[in-house]
Amino acid sequence: MYQLNNKVEISGVNTYELPTIPWESMKKLFQRLSEGEVEVREELIKGNLKLVLSVLKRFKGRGENVDDLFQIGCIGLIKAVDNFKLEHNVNFSTYAVPMILGEIKRYLRDNNYVHMSRSLKATAQKIQETRDILLQKHRREPTVHELSEEMGITPEEVALAYNANTECVSLFEPVFNDSSDPLQVMDIIKDLRSEDQLWLEQMALKEVLEKLSPRERHIIMERFFRGKTQMEVAEEVGISQAQISRIEKSALRFMRENCADEGTDEGTDRI
């Protein structure tokens, strides 16, 4: 991805200049395409490339190559254009976005850095098929032991194949979001390895902690030294998770700034 002044270029496409097509015009183009005018296909693809960009925003911060994801997303868009029918009675974007998203997710799954062996993939696929059969038969989720008995493998093999086939989730994936403070996966996971001495061994940090208000210090200690989630601290303190998040961010910012000022003795008492 290349930044050109206020313009962004992805895979040689200047996204700043991408066209858009009004829905009424798009319906006419799809009608012409269904009548055999294949030359309008390219116009439909170019006119909907912004849908690919909108899907790419969901993968921001994951360290993936944007150019690669854009090209894969375009494959999903092309499939959507080729398969869309006006008889679906939905906007094209409603039909296309899931196809673009699915194409990118399949690419990420198949090209994951943690590769599954063919036999493990085959077992995972068989587990899914068996699960569907048992779910339909018993009207409930089958247990690991039921799956292992049905397939003739050990429960450990079931768990290994199933977990290996599960898509990884970023710690920065939002699980709840309001207008100001998103709640991310990392905020609801305990860090059992956190212990007081990890930071308190550093005298400079200990001094910064003492400059925090009692409530800020308590929240920081509970969150990062005792491994509690924001939800748990909020329930303990008696305020909302969003308030805990804001106090935490403010306290961490204050600590970073004061740790950086190594040569000064000035401190600001906080309320």
Nearest to 52 by CA among 88, 21, 98: 98
pLDDT of residue 89: 80
pLDDT of residue 15: 61
Give 51-74 as a DSSP string.
HHHHHHGGGTTS---HHHHHHHHH
| Domains of the chain with bracketed CATH | 2-110 (1.20.120.1810), 118-164 (1.10.10.10), 174-260 (1.10.10.10)
Residue with tokens 């005792």: 226
Is the separation of the CB atoms in 13 and 49 below 8 Å?
yes
Tell me the one-letter amino acid at 137: K
Distance CA(146)–CA(149), nearest Å, equals 5
Residue with tokens 């003795």: 265
Strand (E) or helix (H) holding 104: helix 92-110
pLDDT of residue 42: 92
- The mean-pLDDT minimum among 2-11, 136-145, 161-170 falls in 2-11
Query: What does each C-alpha distance from 236 to 115, 216, 218, 247 come to in angstroms?
Result: 42, 13, 11, 15
Query: What does each C-alpha distance from 194 to 103, 191, 201, 227, 241 come to in angstroms?
Result: 39, 6, 13, 6, 21
Task: Answer whether residue 254 shows pLDDT above 90.
Answer: no
Tell me the one-letter amino acid at 67: D
- The mean-pLDDT minimum among 20-34, 139-153, 186-200, 215-229 falls in 186-200
For the ranges 77-81, 231-235, 257-261, the maximum mean pLDDT occurs at 77-81
- The mean-pLDDT minimum among 58-62, 124-128, 197-201 falls in 197-201
| 173 three-class SS | coil
What average pLDDT does the chain have? 76
Confidence grade of residue 31 (pLDDT, cut at 50, 70, 90) = very high
The span from the first CA to the last CA of the chain, in angstroms, equals 45
**HSE-up of 267 (CA within 13 Å, CB side)?**
16
